[in-house]
Amino acid sequence: MDGDVTPLGLAASLTLVALALGLSWRRGLRLERDLVIAAVRAVAQLVAVGYVLLVILAEDAPLVLAWCWVALMIAIAATTVGRRAPEVPGATKLAATAMAMSTAVALAIAFGLDVFPLESRVVVPVGGMIVGNALGGTVVAARRVVAELSDHRLDVEARLALGQTSAEAAQPFIRRALRTALIPQIESTKAVGLISLPGTMTGLILAGVRPVDAVLVQAAVMFLILGSVAINVVVVGLGLTREMFTDDHRLKRVQVVEV
Amino acid sequence: MPESPRSTAPDGPGVLFEFDRVAVTAGDRTILHDLDATVAESELTVLLGPSGAGKSTMLRLCNRFEIASSGTVRFRGDDVRTIDPLALRRRVGMVFQRPTMFEGTVADNLRIAEPTASDADIAAQLGRVALPAEMAHRDASVLSGGEAQRACLARTLLTRPDVLLLDEPTSALDPASTRQLEQTIAALVDDGMSVLWVTHQLDQVDRIDPARRIVLVDGRPATPHEIDHYLHAEPLDHDETTDHERTRRSDGDSTDGR
């Protein structure tokens, strides 16, 4: 499938960046430098990714390259979670575990049940969407779990003092944290099509696929994302419960920081 | 009388808790210094001392909410580290500074301590803390501070503990509720319950008239001189001052627990 945007077209679209620059300058927003850096970076990153994908998605390229790409995305996403949730003990490792598990389950269903054909050109974008969507939910889940347990330290200890295990004592607070992390995904699933055309569908329509066909692909992707975000959030919740308590059922002290 | 170092329980009651050269450090701060103390069975022991003296830490060592950095805490002769913490916490109940009611009714709260408790069990425990049986059906979030703290005590009693650890349980209560709770606990002690009560309110100590007092200053037992100063200074001060000043100054708010 050939893209319709020529280099000249891309250059033309940059006039909108120029417009943003002009507005920033006229209004004294001082965002000119950031705008230029963002635009240049985006082009550079996308071009680089485009060339890497050219290799990975080549007709004769082995499928294993696509799986390596997905693994790399998980590693980058997990590092991002670690950076965005610095107060969460073991955040990077936990996020990597959760994302690997949720992606594995989602892709096993996607390809094992023949929802999508097992080809590099499918593995890479579907894997990317799953990991990308899991990122936000993972950060929220991890930070909320730590904040809930720290904010309700007295309540947690009151439960532990009655002889509850750490898992029992943490349960009401973990539940609340996981709900907070999952609700945005559920809300955006509800609003899909009405106030937003999701990325997969937009891309397919732009690339000339019939909207009704695009909808089927989008729906399948959406369910994979919803399921994998749910798995991800639950794994983070369970994992963090273990991190936040000692083996003898004491709640550890964690410094909550604002990011 | 304060405990002298390495004292064993005198004639009469057996030893409930024994602190054997117990130190607790947090980072580079030492909270307890090689503390030796004993707490006897079936009586009321008060743990006294200025803010930051290590009282709460000493209490939390008893149910393994804290772990000694060195030394040994024994419960009825057994090192607490060798006792299953969940079992230990059901034998050693704790009531906190602020009432901690969970979601649901008072009965729901009590059943967190003992899921199989019958309505009669719950009514009986509410009776022990001078709350009416009808209270069981009330939403726990609408109780007054005094009612909630007594419901917390009832919830702890439902685990059938051998001893109650009280961490300034009246610090969030008004004077009338404070008196009621003191009387409730006095009645439990009369029935043979062992109680270790942390407080910094000297007037409260006078009212509850403990069988034994342990006075801590800066993470160690106070010297007779310090005790003398401490017991004759009132009301208590909570500022970070020297020991000497702490026992003499008198600008504290005696109802503030922190």
A160 touches chain B (CB under 8 A): yes
Q: Which of the residue ranges A220-224, B15-19, B124-128, B129-133 would you say has the lowest mean pLDDT?
A: A220-224
Q: Is residue B255 part of a domain?
A: no
Question: Percent of chain B at pLDDT above 70?
Answer: 85
Please tell me the predicted confidence (pLDDT) of residue B240.
39
A152 touches chain B (CB under 8 A): no
**Which residues of chain A, if any, have pLDDT below 70?**
1-3, 195-196, 255-259
Closest residue in A to B92 (Cα–Cα)? A161
- Return the CATH number at B174: 3.40.50.300
Of B66, B85, B102, the CB nearest to A155: B102
Minimal Cα–Cα distance from A162 to chain B, Å? 6
What strands, in cross-sheet order, belong to the sheet with B194-198?
B92-95, B163-167, B194-198, B44-48, B212-217, B220-221
The string of pLDDT tens digits covering residues B17-39 is 999 999 999 888 999 999 999 99
Q: Are B205 and B219 in contact (CB under 8 A)?
A: no
Please tell me the predicted confidence (pLDDT) of residue B251.
37
Minimal Cα–Cα distance from A180 to chain B, Å? 19
Q: Is residue B257 part of a domain?
A: no
The string of pLDDT tens digits covering residues B224-234 is 888 888 877 65
Q: Is residue B92 part of a domain?
A: yes
Residue B79: strand pairing partners: B74
> Burial of A52 by CB count in 10 Å (0-12 exposed, 13-18 middle, 19+ buried)?
middle
Pairing of strands B163-167, B194-198: parallel
Please tell me the predicted confidence (pLDDT) of residue A257.
57
Of B85, B100, B112, the CB nearest to A154: B100
Of B64, B98, B155, the CB nearest to A154: B98
Count of beta carbons in the 10 Å neighbourhood of residue A231: 19
Beta carbons of A161 and B103 less than 8 Å apart: no
Confidence of residue B107 (pLDDT cuts 50, 70, 90): very high
| Residue B22 CA, distance from chain mean position | 18
Confidence of residue B244 (pLDDT cuts 50, 70, 90): very low
Please state the domain extents for chain A. 1-56, 62-244
Q: What is the ipTM of this complex?
A: 0.84
What range defines the domain where residue B202 resides? 15-248
Minimal Cα–Cα distance from A195 to chain B, Å? 37
Beta carbons of A160 and B159 less than 8 Å apart: no
Q: Are B132 and B83 in contact (CB under 8 A)?
A: no
| Residue B186 CA, distance from chain mean position | 13
Beta carbons of B156 and A161 less than 8 Å apart: yes
Question: Total structural domains in chain B?
Answer: 1
Beta carbons of B64 and A248 less than 8 Å apart: yes
The chain-wide mean pLDDT, for chain B, equals: 87
